[in-house]
Every structure is written in C-alpha cells, then in structure tokens.
Copies of this chain bind each other. A is one copy, B any other.
Amino acid sequence: MTLTDGRRPGSRGVAADHVSLRRNNLSVVLRHVRDLGPRSRARIADETGLNKATVSSLVAELVDRGLLREGPADSSRALGRPGQLVELDGTGVCGVGAEINVDYLAVAALDLAGDVVLEKRVPVDVAHLEPGTTLDRLAELVREAVDAVEARSGELAGVTLAVPGLVQGETGELKLAPNLGWGEVSVAQEMRTRLGDPGYPLHVENEANLAALAAYAELHRTEDDRSGGVPHDLVLLTGAVGVGGGIVSNGHLLHGGAGYSGEVGHMPVAPPGRTCGCGRTGCWETVVGLTALLHKATDRDDPVRDPSLDVEQRLAGITRRAEAGDARTLSALKDVGTWLGIGGAILVNILNPDVLVLGGYFAVLGPWLKEPLEKAIQERVIAPDGGGCRVVRSELGFAAAVRGGAQISLDQVFVDPTRIGAAS
C-alpha cells in the first residue's frame, strides 16, 4: 500500500455543508450508475452506503434533470416485489470537442453515455493560413456540431477546443504553437466572438492532454473485466508533425505549474540535425515526428507528403508500402521506432505509467513501431519488467483529442449534476 500524503496546504480543504453534501451525493450516484451500469435503488444504497430514502430522493432529482431514467424491471431478484432499475439517460446532454492541428480541423459531439452524435475531420493546411481564417473554419465546424446537438433536443454541457501548443493554465489561452506558426492567440475569445457569445462554457486545452483523457476513458471501457485492475497512470504519445505527450497520474490530468507539461517533443535526445518547429535542433520530434518519417521514407514529390490530402489517407499509403515489404519504408519505420524507444524509456523511468498509449500517427503505424519501443523499455527502464508498463495502440486515431474535448465538457456534469436541467 502507498502512504497518502496530506491534502496540499495551499487548499484549505472543503468544509462540507448540507448543500455541498447533497451535490456530492448526486455526483456519487450518477457516476456509480455510469461506471457500474443499470441497477436498482436498493442496490445503489447497498453499494454506496447511502440510506435508501436518500438514494430515492437523489435518483428522483437526477431523473428530473434528465441524467438518469427508469429502466426495465430488475429480473435479478428471486424474492419479493421486483425493483425498478435506473440507468444513465445519455440522450439529453452532449459535450463538444473541436481541434486545430497542423494539417486538419476536427470536431466531435458525444452524449452523456459516450455515444457519438457527430464526428468530422477536414484536411486544412493550417500552418499556411492566417489564424483568423482557420478560426473562421473551426467556428463553422463547431456550429455544425451544436446544430446536431440541438436537432436531437439535447442540452449542451460545453465546448472544449484542442490546440497543439502551450495553453496557459491561468488564462486558459494559447501561448505558443510552434508547428502552427502561432504565437499568443486568444483562441477562446476569438471563438466566442465568432460563435456569437454563446451561453455554454467554452475552454481551450492542449490536444495531447485531451487525447490522454480520451485514451484513459477508452482503457476503462475496454479493460473493465481484466484481472489486475484498470490503469490509473498513463502516458499518451500523439504524433503528427509535432509530438505531444499527455500524462494521466492517479486518474487526473497532470498540467504542471503553468499548464505547460507534456512537452515531450522537445526533449533534447536527438543528434543535431533538422531544425525543429521550435527553432532548436536535437528535439525528439525531429526524429520521431511525421515529417521525420516522411523525409526518410519518401521523395519530395511523393503524394503522401501532400498536406491537402487527409492524413489517414496519406498514412494508408505508408502502411501499404510497409505491408508490401518496401525496404526504404521499413527501414524508416524501424529508425523512428528505435528513437521512439529512447525517449519512451525516459518517460517510463520518470512517470512509471501502467500504460504507454500510442496515439495519432504512432497508433496507425504501431505494428512497425511497437517492437523497438518495447525493447527499449525492457532494456533502459531501471524498474524490473519496465515497471509493469504495457504499450498499447489507441483505437481512436486522430479523433482522440476531439473525443477527449467532448468528454471533459461532459465530466463537469458528473462532478456537479446540478449544472444541468431544472432543480427538483
């Protein structure tokens, strides 16, 4: 067992009054049903330790708010009056995530149950456009998603924008996005203006952080029944032109003091060579980013280098060549995989994640990258057996950040269900 360090001195802790007690218990019941599935009020009372009358009142309020609904009768009871199951009412509340990346814009709307209402990605050569033009196009995509939510009479919990750069913790604004060629841009304010100052919350977050949250949720959906328990510590590596890291520590995103954590792409581990988007040389992303792979594997006029084509189509071209045994492609992939392992081992030594998740282009080309990466972790990590770290490929591909963005908007509802619907 691990010792618990005391809560941090800076926060005084929260003195619970009866309003916050009820809000906390609404959150407990809602998350309980989300995580463990439909169940009777009696069973919720048993499992949470709340008394039955309290659970009935909490469920009633959550039903009123459109977050839970009555389900089928409880067929598991052998004796006595059959109970009624309650289940998550996914349909009434949605979250939206939207992403600006180097060569695409994307958007997703998810409902409370995690089902996809809308998902869309369009190739855009962002680095060669004015920020204002890109934001105009992103606003169109967000409007489409909001329309889709409204079309099913859903309440919008919020919109979260993913950007491939440094997001200041205090202001929530973009400070620097080297691979977009953007300096300080008030992305949230610019978008609010374009969207006509909407009433829903709108936030900006680093794309790798959001992809990490999405990967975390994905692991919890797919690994619920595995023995050994679900992971609470993961590092997600997302690669396209830039390489970003998102860190989940003990179930929470790690932001760092100013919000700038996870800048793994600029670890100075490579020999001096190609100049990085940040202006330095020797950065990790100069040897593991998509540009590095394309330079090694293809000629200048190769269509897979064309940023006006969708990135998944371009990667499908690489995959076909690798599957056909093309020597140049395979050699480039091995080289990238080896460098991926060198930086990956550093991250595992420092953070000891349960899982290292390959996202973005690393996920697509994972079949060729995984072996040298795993080898490096076994060889270079001081803890026996790589500290138990597994390498997995995300199934979300380039949708991870927008899914994570939609999710983090919805998470606010699980933390405080009173944000949604009318009070009972």
Contact = CB atoms under 8 A, between A and B. Distances in A.
Interface residues of A, number: 99
How often does this chain occur in the complex, in copies?
2
A261 interface: yes
Nearest to A269: B269
A415 interface: yes
A352 B231 contact: no
Contacts of A172: 1-2
Interface string A1-39: 111111111111111110001001101100110111000
Contacts of A233: 256-257
A136 interface: no
A381 B269 CA distance: 13
A382 interface: yes
A245 B35 contact: no
Given A1-B172, A8-B252, A12-B28, 13 more contacts: A7-B31, A8-B251, A9-B230, A12-B47, A15-B24, A15-B28, A16-B21, A261-B351, A262-B352, A268-B346, A268-B380, A269-B269, A269-B346
Interface of A: 1-17, 21, 24-25, 27-28, 31-32, 34-36, 47-50, 160, 166, 169-172, 175-176, 178, 203, 205, 213, 217, 220, 229-233, 245, 247, 249-269, 278, 280, 342, 345-347, 349-355, 380-384, 387-389, 408, 411-412, 414-415
